[in-house]
Amino acid sequence: MSNVVLARIDDRLIHGQVIAKWAKKLFFKNIFVVDDAVSKDAFACRLMLAIAPKDLNVKILNVADATELLKADDETATCVITKNPMTFETLIENGVVLKEVQLGGMGSNSNRTSLVRNAAASQEERECMKRMREKGIRVYYQDIPETKPTELEKLL
């Protein structure tokens, strides 16, 4: 099984906070962006690869390919980023083992209501996160390493 040191929901995917702060704090060498639509978008893929530091191995994957890689025996410290909790739930259902999922930037839209500063969730996303909690997976909000984590139970 892969060594996932950060499983993060952030609809911005790769951006300054992930690169500048979390990579330095957690020393991951791989970033797996997991999103079926984004993995097919050549422009979005080129953009994320361009902004990532050259010392990080970035892969932009669909859920099926990510499942295979994350179930492989690899001890390299890895960050997995998705846009929503349903993608993590699918990975878990496919046999990927995760101990915790971190909520980062989840922007507001017509389906989402605020959870906490910089994070909003739809009813479907809230139910999904509750199911992950019921499976023993820690779900919490933390935008940057310097911010104290807030557990999901306090947000719902």
- Lowest average pLDDT, out of 6-15, 17-26, 50-59, goes to 17-26
Question: Is the distance from CB of 142 to CB of 149 less than 8 angstroms?
Answer: yes
Domain limits at 8?
3-155
CA–CA gap between residue 116 and residue 106 (Å, rounded):
10
- What does the pLDDT look like over 53-93, one tens digit per residue? 888 999 999 999 999 999 998 899 999 999 999 999 999 99
- What does the pLDDT look like over 104-138, one tens digit per residue? 887 778 888 787 878 888 899 999 999 999 999 99
pLDDT at residue 51 greater than cutoff 80: yes
pTM, rounded to two decimals: 0.92
Total domain count, the chain: 1
Please report the pLDDT score of residue 93 as a whole number. Answer: 96
- Overall size of the chain counted in residues: 156
CATH code of the domain in which 111 resides: 3.40.35.10
